């Protein structure tokens, strides 16, 4: 199990929610499945380095939020 403090991003890395919610256009959310038995991607992002690379690709493609599950 991972301690909560090690899963929490530093404040500077968190989105500015008021700015995100007050935009006149919708936010885009990317879904990143990291479980090894993921039905949608076969667990290809279970390795942390691959998951991080995929999250970065999602952000580069326009994702405002990354839902990691």
Domain boundaries, the chain: 25-69
| Amino acid 18: pLDDT | 73
pTM: 0.65
Question: What does the pLDDT read at residue 66?
Answer: 92
Q: Which tokens hold the place of 29?
A: 């959310």
45/20 Cα distance (integer angstroms): 27
Tell me, what's the pLDDT at 26?
87
**pLDDT for position 14:** 62
The Cα 44–Cα 2 span in angstroms is 21
pLDDT means per 10 residues, the chain with 69 residues, are 49 65 85 82 85 95 91
């Amino acid at each position: 199990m991972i301690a909560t403090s090690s899963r929490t991003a530093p404040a500077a890395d968190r989105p500015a929610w008021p700015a995100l919610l007050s935009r006149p256009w919708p936010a885009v959310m990317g879904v990143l499945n990291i479980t090894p038995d993921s039905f949608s991607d076969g667990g290809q992002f279970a390795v942390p380095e691959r998951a991080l690379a995929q999250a970065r690709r999602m952000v580069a493609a326009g994702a405002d939020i990354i839902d990691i599950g």
